[in-house]
Amino acid sequence: MFRWRARWAWISIARPDGQRWAIAERDGAGEVIGTAYRLPDGRKDFATGGRRGLILPWPLHAYAGATADRPVYVCEGASDAASLLGLGLDAVGVPMAGHGGDLLGALLAGRHAVVIADADDAGRTGAARLAGALIGRCASVRTIEAPEGAKDCREAVIAGANRSAFETLAARAAPLRAQPASLAGGAIVVRLADVTPEPVSWLWPGRIALGKVTLIAGDPGLGKSFLTLDMAARISSGAGWPDGGERPAPGGVVLLSAEDSIADTIRPRLDAAGADPARIIALESIRSLGENGRVCARSFDLSRDLPALDAAVESVGDCRLVVIDPVTAYLGGVDSHKNAEIRGLLAPLGELAMRHRVAVVAVTHLNKAGGGPAIYRAMGSLAFAAAARAAWAVSKDRADPMRRLLLPIKNNLAPDAGGLAYRIDGAGPAVAWEAGTVHVSADEALARDGMWRRALNATMRRLAARLSGRRPQVGPGRSDRIESGGLQ
């Protein structure tokens, strides 16, 4: 009776029934090291202070994985593990793709294991990583993908896959063998002959790709947020792109905005842009348990809360776009000026984009350095621009202060299609795009900005010196008369 009630609970987790579930995550010895939550609306949360661990009913049966025809199935996430447990299979879930290899090695030592990969690049890479960690520690290790052509176990079960479907695939899979290289430092390689070439998929053709991270950088007050909300409106409503690119099918959008109010700024701007608000959600904060046991809210943190973003993307339905504005507001304790830390932060974000085939657009400000290539002007580490597959600069047209320029800094995936110009117009207000392309480079535009800023700063120092009665200080060979950018 107890076993049936436990199985019913796991089935309910796999198919949310409007209840709130607390799911223990364990280490390899079965000790609870963290608690995940599945909320009534399907969203996920994780208790503050815990560590991510393995998801399984405890204790693991002594006979689980005792023979090759009764393996322990390893899958990604609570809902996938619950789906397999609901079929009567022995299953363990890991919190995200490729994570938990050491814990699994301790738990499944001497047992037979089958690692089930999600049917995407990130899922396959993560499964290979887990399998590599288990080879030599388990009695045998095999990898399969979910039956029915499904993306993952849960989708396969919903599509009608039964216990026999998984067992048949596992029986056909050949056990993996250890490579000569050591497990700890062994390379995971892919033979290029086994890779099927795929074209790049585009959100905004030639400008913003699906499954990739794109960076937009510009000074405050130039309309970067207007720009991303215009994109969100076009995706949600299926409106065409301003340069005549292929009209997108309507899709979902997830917004993270640290600077604008949803009620008095974001929603009115979306309405003015013609958005379908039913397809757009905002991730405001993360629910957390305080030291007093009460539920509270804290800011989203890219270094620890990607599962929450993952859940938000899944909840919106046919999500195509994620906007993070500004990305520097969500770094947690990561140093924005350290390349290694930023790359370590952005790599999982890129995997999320690839796994869900969504475009992630990260917004940032420019640093105060003038001159030099535009790629060095994004705030913080160069890794922001380097890790993004495309980067765009927003600049003011110095000949027309109300005109804004969206200019390519880099695009690793398509030829340079030129920049675009827009204004913030109307009572809404909203973005009004100009026809045609702009042929000034981001390097040129930002260099002009730097010259103008340096001239302004020099003039302000000169005026301050005059007002204080002191002679202005100037560098060797320079005149104290500043004539640049129209300033004298």
pLDDT digit string, tens, across residues 221-251: 999 999 999 999 999 999 999 998 778 889 9
pLDDT at 450 over 70: no
pLDDT in tens, 91-150: 999 988 888 888 999 899 999 999 999 998 888 999 999 998 899 889 999 999 999 889
> Measuring CA to CA, how many Å separate 26 from each of 39, 93, 164, 307?
20, 10, 28, 17
Residues 47-73 have a mean pLDDT of 89
Tokens of 2: 């107890």
What's the CA angle centered on 337, arms 335 and 341, to 5 degrees? 55
Quick one: what percent of the chain has pLDDT higher than 90? 52
Residues 325-338 have a mean pLDDT of 90
Residues 271-299 have a mean pLDDT of 86
The pLDDT, as a whole number, for residue 94 is 93
Q: Which residues sit opposite 404 in a β-bridge?
A: 396, 422
Domains of the chain (ranges; CATH) run 2-194 (3.40.1360.10), 202-440 (3.40.50.300)
Per mean pLDDT, which range of 13-22, 104-113, 193-202, 230-239 is the poorest? Answer: 13-22
| Angstrom distance (rounded) from CA 285 to CA 300 | 5
pLDDT at 444 over 90: no
The pLDDT, as a whole number, for residue 464 is 76
Q: Are 45 and 287 in contact (CB under 8 A)?
A: yes
| Angstrom distance (rounded) from CA 462 to CA 294 | 56
Q: Which residues sit opposite 423 in a β-bridge?
A: 432
The pLDDT, as a whole number, for residue 235 is 96
Residues 256-279 have a mean pLDDT of 95
Per mean pLDDT, which range of 187-196, 289-298, 329-338, 371-380 is the poorest? Answer: 289-298
pLDDT at 183 over 60: no
The pLDDT, as a whole number, for residue 155 is 92
pLDDT class for 199, splitting at 50, 70, 90? very high
Q: What value does the mean pLDDT of the chain take?
A: 85
Residue 488 neighbours by CB distance under 10 Å: 10
Identify which has the larger pLDDT, 39 or 425: 425
pLDDT at 478 over 70: no
Residues 211-225 have a mean pLDDT of 94
The pLDDT, as a whole number, for residue 13 is 53
Tokens of 303: 């270094």
pLDDT class for 44, splitting at 50, 70, 90? confident
| Residue 120 DSSP class | S
| Angstrom distance (rounded) from CA 481 to CA 368 | 23
Q: Contacts from 229-234 at CB under 8 Å and sequence distance 24+? A: 229/266, 229/269, 229/270, 229/273, 229/275, 229/323, 230/273, 230/430, 230/431, 231/204, 231/321, 231/323, 231/361, 232/270, 232/273, 232/275, 232/280, 232/321, 232/323, 233/270, 233/273, 233/274, 233/275, 234/273
Quick one: what percent of the chain has pLDDT higher than 70? 85
Per mean pLDDT, which range of 23-37, 62-76, 211-225, 455-469 is the poorest? Answer: 455-469
The pLDDT, as a whole number, for residue 288 is 76
337: Cα within 13 Å, side-chain hemisphere: 1
Identify which has the larger pLDDT, 167 or 460: 167
pLDDT at 480 over 60: no
The pLDDT, as a whole number, for residue 473 is 54
Identify which has the larger pLDDT, 451 or 325: 325
Q: Are 417 and 365 in contact (CB under 8 A)?
A: no
The pLDDT, as a whole number, for residue 39 is 73
pLDDT at 333 over 90: no
Secondary structure (3-state) at 206: coil
